[in-house]
Amino acid sequence: TIAIMLFRRDLRLTDNTALAAACKTNARVLPLYIHADHEEAPWNAGAASHWWLHHSLEALQRRLRGCGANLHLLQGDTLHVLRNVIERSGAAAVYWNRRYEPAAVTRDTQIKAALREQGVAVHTYSANLWSEPWQVETKQGEPYRVFTPYWRNLRPSITVTPPLLEPIGIKWVELPAGLTLAALKLLPRIRWDEGFGDTWRPGEAGAQDALELFCDDAIVDYAAGRDLPARHGTSRLSPHLHFGEISPRQIHHAIHRHTQRVDTRRRPDIEPYLRELGWREFAYHLLYHFPRTTTESFNPRFANFPWAPTNDAQLMRWQQGRTGIPLVDAGMRELWHTGWMHNRVRMIVASFLTKNLRQHWSHGARWFWDTLVDADLANNTLGWQWVAGCGADAAPYFRVFNPVSQARKFDPEGTYLRRWLPELADLPVDLLHEPWHEPSVLKRSGYPSPMVDVRASREEALSAFQSWRGA
């Protein structure tokens, strides 16, 4: 018999549950990828995600070719394309790993029903989370809304498990008339992506390299180092995780094995890192149980929150990294240049947009969606609403990050600021943090003066919040 392995957000051969299951049946396997961006609406992938997807598919094609297989690429409506491939190949079964975004859940449910009705078996698996979003629940049988009890419940069930190996000895099937990768037109026409190529290596091998680098280096000091944007202090696995080039199980297994080799007295504590992966898991739990939150605030009271009217000129300055607040601008430029931004800086630019400028969080979420290589509906929704104060288990609205004191605390030498704001690079550190104190500096460097006064705009946000809450 013939089985179709439908690759989606699981662009890897190792620890791929659906692929391993398809191979175990002794069926001949047809590896297929269907590009169906329109089915993701309203969260069709952005430009940076497309860049990553192109290179990740290229890497998967190479991996498969090395095993004597050909990744069949097609595009169109998934069900229609699948039916066509089933007819041409005579496949009797389809295998895929599950997705959890609302649009994907609805589509996959329909496809499963339609294929089963025509006598084709559909087998679906979990490959990218430690636990399915519906498996963790409160004593009352409800979904969690607060992270700490959620994690307390989930953590004991997470054990170090060896990942599944890459299947070997598979009989592959090839179909004629697939599309070329170029035909999917995923790369930008205007080449703004040079910084991406210098920063990233999409694909399964790139993910393994990033993991190894993290184990050899940053994990030792992760709990403190993860807050310093100038350092390579985090794993930078987020885009690899998003595209399923690596699984949490693989990461856990590798860092556990690595740290076991270290002398017990100097063995790093891996819990803070696992906890961050736990936030990712929590984000998927929320996404699955509260799908409306991808477009609405989790906290329904925020439906009538007095956000300022949309201000395109302000939004543009924020997007371009020209707000006149160094840490905000450095972060926005890092994002534009590399498709990634350090987590602490993400919180600060988000706080600046939603509090100092009082723009609706969805404007920020949209911009991140288009520009992040790790744009992920679960994590992005959680991140924005956490900062804006309207999410599940969010920071309270009145917690407004001060971008100047944050920069002094987490980038005391100004290394990160100098990297992304070359026009200010030779300033002494005090002036670098607050260049507006020396108007001649602004004039000479062309760096803008602050678009808002950080203190005054904070007070305005707090008083808007107080009067809304009072009402």
Residues marked as catalytic: 276, 279, 307, 343, 361, 384
* 29-68 exposure pattern, b = at least 16 Cβ within 10 A, e = fewer: bbbbbbbbeebbeebebbbbbbbbbbbbbebbbebbeeee
Please count the other Cβ atoms lying within 10 Å of the Cβ belonging to residue 91.
23
The label of the residue with tokens 């859940």 reads: 105
Residues 385-404 interacting with ligand FAD (rule: CB under 6 A): 387
Cβ 308 to ligand FAD shortest distance, Å: 18
| Structure token pair of residue 187 | 């790369």
How many of the chain's residues bind ligand FAD (CB under 6 A)? 28
Residue nearest to ligand FAD (CB): 383
- 76 or 225, CB closer to ligand FAD? 225
Main-chain phi, psi angles of 31, to 5 degrees: -80, 125
- 39 or 376, CB closer to ligand FAD? 376
Dihedral (Cα; 20, 24, 26, 29), 10-degree rounding: -10
Cβ 99 to ligand FAD shortest distance, Å: 15
Cβ 218 to ligand FAD shortest distance, Å: 8
- 61 or 356, CB closer to ligand FAD? 356
- 108 or 376, CB closer to ligand FAD? 376
Q: Which helix (H) or strand (E) holds 122?
A: strand 121-125
- Our finding on whether 420 is near ligand FAD (CB under 6 A) is no
Taking contact as CB under 6 A, which single stretch among the options 252-260, 275-283, 285-293, 446-454 is the one that binds ligand FAD?
275-283
Selected binder of ligand FAD within 376, 391, 397, 432 (CB under 6 A) = 376
Whether 34 contacts 74, CB under 8 Å? yes
- Write each residue from 237 to 256 as x if it is in contact with ligand FAD (CB under 6 A), else as -, in one continuous string: xx--xx--------------
Cβ 204 to ligand FAD shortest distance, Å: 16
Residues 210-229 interacting with ligand FAD (rule: CB under 6 A): 226
DSSP type of residue 181 = S
Cβ 235 to ligand FAD shortest distance, Å: 3
- Our finding on whether 383 is near ligand FAD (CB under 6 A) is yes
Cβ 180 to ligand FAD shortest distance, Å: 29
- Our finding on whether 85 is near ligand FAD (CB under 6 A) is no
**DSSP states of 18-80:** HHHHHHHTT-EEEEEEEE-GGGGTTS---HHHHHHHHHHHHHHHHHHHHTT---EEEES-HHH
For 221, 228, 326, 424, 426, the CA distances from 415, given in Å and listed in that order, are 19, 10, 12, 11, 11
Selected binder of ligand FAD within 54, 99, 258, 280 (CB under 6 A) = 280
Picking from 283, 44, 251, 255, the residue whose alpha carbon sits closest to that of residue 151 is 283
Picking from 337, 365, 351, 325, the residue whose alpha carbon sits closest to that of residue 452 is 325
- Write each residue from 332 to 361 as x if it is in contact with ligand FAD (CB under 6 A), else as -, in one continuous string: -----------x--xx--x-----------
End-to-end CA distance of the chain: 66
Residues that bind ligand FAD (CB under 6 A): 226, 234-238, 241-242, 276-277, 279-280, 283, 343, 346-347, 350, 368, 372, 374-376, 379-380, 382-384, 387
